[in-house]
């Protein structure tokens, strides 16, 4: 009789553990999805801001066509593709914007333009929001990946088919692309 | 960073356990000396909870109006609002309301019931004197208070202090007006010693409770420093900001004793005679040193 009770108790504890572990995995997974949409919101925001910026800048910098096309091209890639492609496009756009703002330094009239100043603050704010949402996303992915690999939660993760998630980072060869020309 | 975060969480838990032990001791002594001691503890708990709940739910508005804070607008404080929004994303909390406090001292605080209804306030001085990284360090510190539910932690601590203060107060008063257990009047010196010890304990308990509360407050500051550094990934930003705060000699006129504990650093620059045991904030040099070692 005693043995039956013990078995029931142990069984109950195991079931309880499965429920708790399963729920915490769901919470973590939802947080990742939420973090991902947060990145998307910020990418979209930047996507929407850029046409305004181009419009404002165009009037002042007529001889710097290449910088502007760079920005436009990078923007076009931003809202399509998978996670890696988006991350890559986002990094490209960051670089393109950097050179655009560097060029703008040479145009005092542009720099004094209220609209430009506002857009610059907005864009750099969005820039850091993208960085922070990326950080939050990657942190969430990290804690999820650790959790599903750790024993005993790994058993539950396997049973319910929780799989490792990807980090938001630009994979590829952009690091090799940096060429220094003398 | 991670180890400092978990260390500070454990420390706060330990201090809360200490609190409950103290309350248990007070209840025990009261019950030993008087009839129905536990009833008094319950009454004291109810009073303390009501008081604290009132301050809990109206506290942020009162504090914000006391320091004459006004809400930041996108036009004048675009950079501040953007930084708060960005770091909120990093912390995974909804973006709090942003306020600006008039005055040139570098200071800031966070208030509000929950992450959903939180506010952060920064002095004009901190916006002007801190550079980008330093300001982000300060913002991250304040957001960490929100994320770590420090306001709730401190409200809980105040409830516990309140229970002890009210219970000892009521007991000491009724003791003065004569209400010692009369059925155990067989007396003897043992009983007198017991009563004397009990009275001393009732006098000391509220003071000890305050000391524990301040200790919790200091632990939460360290915790906010560490988790803030985790948000910006740049502990030096906050460390530099604290260095500037240390060198800053402006007074913040709108701050009062009632609100002083909420700020990132004590708004009264003059060293108070109170020992460090009664300080709501840890020593600023110690905080800088801990941040530098991260």
Task: State yes or no: pLDDT of B53 exceeds 80.
Answer: no
Contact map slice: B 100-139 vs A, CB within 8 A: none
Structural domain that includes position A82: 2-159
Partners of B98 in beta bridges: B120
Position A178 in a domain: no
Give the count of beta carbons closer than 10 Å to the beta carbon of residue A71: 21
Residues in chain A within 8 Å Cβ distance of B89: 38, 42, 129, 132-133, 136
| CB nearest B89 (choices: A121, A124, A129) | A129
Contact predicate B104/B244, CB 8 Å: no
* A122 contacts B85? CB cut-off 8 A: no
pLDDT in tens, A86-102: 888 888 888 888 888 88
For residues B49 and A31, what is the distance between their CA atoms, to the nearest angstrom? Answer: 34
Beta pairing, strands B118-123 & B97-101: parallel
Alpha helices in chain B (DSSP H): 2-33, 37-66, 78-91, 124-129, 132-147, 150-176, 189-232, 235-247, 284-292
pLDDT greater than 90 at residue B135: yes
pLDDT over 90 percentage in chain B? 22
- B87 — contact with chain A (CB < 8 Å)? yes
pLDDT of residue B9: 75
Number of H helices, E strands in chain A: 6, 0
User: What CATH number should be reported for the domain holding residue A135?
Assistant: 1.20.1440.20
Q: What is the mean pLDDT of residues A92-121?
A: 85
- Tell me which residue of B248, B268, B241 sits closest to B257, measured CA to CA: B268
Burial class, A94, CB count within 10 angstroms (exposed 0-12 / middle 13-18 / buried 19+): middle
Which residues are CB-neighbours of B28 under 8 A, at least 6 positions away? B37
Lowest mean pLDDT among A34-38, A108-112, B229-233: A108-112
Measured between its terminal Cα atoms, the distance across chain A in Å is 87
Can you tell me whether residue B96 is helix, strand or coil? coil
* H or E, element range at B44: helix B37-66
pLDDT tens digits, A26-83: 999 999 998 888 888 888 888 888 888 888 888 787 777 788 888 888 888 887 777 7
- pLDDT above 50 for A177: no
Smallest Cα distance from A40 to chain B, Å? 12
- Report how far residue A37's alpha carbon sits from residue A43's, in angstroms, rounded to the nearest whole number: 10
CA-to-CA separations, B280 to B17, B156, B248, in angstroms, rounded: 19, 15, 19
- Kindly state whether residue A170 falls inside one of the protein's structural domains: no
Sign of the CA dihedral with A39 first, then A44, A45, and A50 last: positive
Contact B238, B222 (CB under 8 A): no
For residue A180, being part of any structural domain is answered with: no
Residue with tokens 């957001």: B143
In angstroms, the separation between the Cα of residue A49 and the nearest Cα of chain B is 15
Q: Which tens digit of pLDDT belongs to each residue from B64-123? A: 888 888 899 888 898 899 999 999 999 988 999 999 999 888 889 888 778 888 899 999
Nearest to B66 by CA among B109, B106, B96, B113: B109
Domains and their CATH numbers in chain B = 2-56+150-213 (no CATH), 61-149+218-292 (3.30.2010.10)
What is the token pair recorded at B56? 């809990």
Across-strand partners of B109? Answer: B121, B263
| C-alpha distance from B86 to closest chain A C-alpha (Å) | 4
C-alpha–C-alpha distance, residues A123 and A93, integer Å: 11
Residue B56 and residue B111: Cα distance in Å, rounded? 10
Residue whose entry in the numeric block shows the structure tokens 């600023």: B284
Mutate to test the interface with B, among A114, A117, A129, A134 (most CBs of B within 10 A): A129
* Rounded Cα–Cα distance for residues B281 and B222 (Å): 9
B142 tagged catalytic:
yes
* Distance in angstroms (rounded) separating the CA atoms of residues B2 and B151: 22
Q: How far is B204 from chain A (nearest CA, A)?
A: 44
pLDDT above 70 as % of chain B: 84
pLDDT the model gives residue B154? 79
Residue A177 lies in a domain: no
* Chain B, nearest residue to A41 by Cα: B89
CB-CB contact of B122 with B89 (8 Å): no
Q: Phi then psi for B101, rounded to 5 degrees?
A: -105, 130
Contact between A46 and A123 (Cβ < 8 Å): yes
Query: Would you say residue A65 lies in a domain?
Result: yes
Residue A164 falls inside a structural domain: no
With an 8 Å Cβ cutoff, are B92 and A132 in contact?
no
Which range has the worst mean pLDDT, A38-52, A98-112, A130-144?
A98-112
Partners of A140 on chain B (C-beta within 8 Å) are 92
Of the pLDDT bands very low, low, confident and very high (cuts 50, 70, 90), residue B176 is: low
pTM confidence score: 0.79
The tokens for A63 are 């001889």
What residues have CB less than 8 Å from A9, skipping those under 6 apart? Answer: none
Question: CB-based contact (8 Å) between B85 and chain A?
Answer: yes
CB contact under 8 A, B89 and A38: yes
Tell me which chain A residue has its CA closest to the CA of residue B87. Answer: A132
Among the partner residues A35, A121, A125, nearest to B86 by beta-carbon distance = A125
Among residues B109, B54, B75, B90, which one has the least CA distance to residue B266?
B109
- Which one, of A94, A99, A101, lies nearest residue A120 by Cα? A101
Residue A85 lies in a domain: yes
pLDDT at position B127, please?
Answer: 93
Active-site choice (B124, B142, B184, B251): B142
**Is B78 within 8 Å of chain A by CB?**
yes
Q: CB of B73 within 8 Å of any CB in chain A?
A: no
Of the candidates B29, B30, B27, the residue with the CA atom closest to the CA atom of residue B19? B27
In this prediction, residue A104 carries a pLDDT of: 84
> Between vectors from CA B52 to CA B65 and to CA B22, what angle results, nearest 5°?
135
B188-216 pLDDT, tens per residue? 677 777 778 878 888 888 888 888 888 88
Tell me, what's the pLDDT at A175? Answer: 44
Work out how many domains chain A is built from and give that number. Answer: 1
How far does the CA of residue B89 sit from the closest CA of chain A (Å)?
A: 6
Q: Give contacts of A125 with chain B, Cβ < 8 Å.
A: 78-79, 82-83, 85-86
Q: Does B82 touch chain A (CB under 8 A)?
A: yes
Contact B127, B100 (CB under 8 A): yes
**Mean pLDDT over residues B138-144, rounded?**
94
Q: Do B284 and B265 form a contact (C-beta atoms < 8 A)?
A: yes
Helix, strand, coil in percent for chain B, rounding step 5:
70, 5, 25
Judged by CB atoms within 8 Å, which residues 216-275 of B form the interface with A?
A: 231, 233
The residue of chain A with its CA nearest to that of B136 is A128
List CB contacts (< 8 A) between B78 and chain A: 118, 121-122, 125
B48: which 2 tokens? Answer: 């303390």
Residue B162 has pLDDT above 60, yes or no: yes
């Amino acid at each position: 009789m005693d043995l039956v009770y013990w078995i029931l108790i142990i069984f109950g504890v195991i079931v309880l553990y499965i429920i708790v572990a399963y729920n915490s995995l769901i919470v973590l997974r939802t947080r990742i999805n939420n973090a991902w949409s947060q990145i998307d919101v910020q990418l979209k925001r930047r996507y929407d801001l850029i046409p305004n910026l181009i419009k404002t800048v165009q009037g002042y910098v007529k001889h710097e066509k290449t910088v502007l096309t760079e920005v436009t091209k990078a923007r076009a890639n931003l809202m399509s593709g998978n996670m890696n492609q988006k991350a890559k496009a986002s990094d490209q756009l960051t670089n393109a914007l950097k050179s655009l703002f560097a060029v703008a330094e040479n145009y005092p009239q542009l720099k004094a333009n209220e609209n430009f100043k506002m857009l610059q603050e907005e864009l750099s704010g969005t820039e850091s929001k993208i960085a922070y949402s990326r950080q939050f996303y990657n942190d969430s992915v990290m804690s999820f990946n650790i959790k599903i690999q750790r024993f005993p939660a790994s058993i539950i993760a396997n049973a319910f088919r929780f799989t490792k998630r990807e980090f938001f980072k630009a994979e590829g060869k952009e690091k090799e692309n940096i060429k220094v020309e003398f | 960073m991670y180890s400092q975060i978990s260390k500070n969480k454990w420390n706060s838990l330990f201090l809360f356990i200490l609190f409950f032990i103290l309350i248990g001791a007070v209840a025990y002594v009261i019950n030993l000396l008087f009839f129905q001691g536990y009833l008094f503890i319950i009454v004291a708990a109810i009073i303390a909870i009501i008081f604290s709940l009132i301050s809990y739910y109206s506290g942020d508005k009162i504090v914000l109006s006391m320091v004459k804070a006004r809400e930041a607008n996108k036009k004048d404080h675009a950079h501040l609002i953007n930084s708060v929004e960005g770091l909120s994303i990093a912390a995974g909390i909804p973006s709090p309301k942003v306020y600006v406090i008039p005055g040139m001292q570098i200071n800031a605080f966070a208030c509000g019931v929950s992450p959903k209804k939180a506010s952060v306030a920064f002095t004009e001085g901190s916006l002007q004197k801190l550079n980008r990284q330093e300001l982000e360090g300060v913002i991250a510190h304040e957001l960490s208070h929100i994320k770590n539910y420090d306001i709730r932690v401190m409200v809980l601590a105040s409830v516990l202090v309140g229970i002890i203060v009210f219970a000892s107060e009521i007991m000491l008063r009724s003791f003065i007006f004569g209400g010692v257990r009369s059925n155990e009047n067989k007396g003897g010196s043992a009983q007198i010693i017991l009563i004397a010890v009990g009275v001393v304990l009732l006098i000391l308990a509220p003071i000890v409770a305050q000391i524990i509360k301040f200790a919790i407050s200091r632990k939460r500051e360290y915790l906010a420093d560490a988790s803030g550094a985790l948000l910006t990934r740049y502990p030096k930003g906050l460390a530099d900001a604290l260095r500037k705060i240390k060198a800053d000699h402006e007074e913040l006129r709108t701050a009062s004793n009632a609100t002083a504990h909420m700020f990132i650093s004590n708004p009264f620059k003059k060293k108070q005679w109170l020992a460090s045991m009664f300080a709501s904030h840890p020593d600023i040099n110690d905080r800088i040193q801990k941040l530098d070692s991260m």
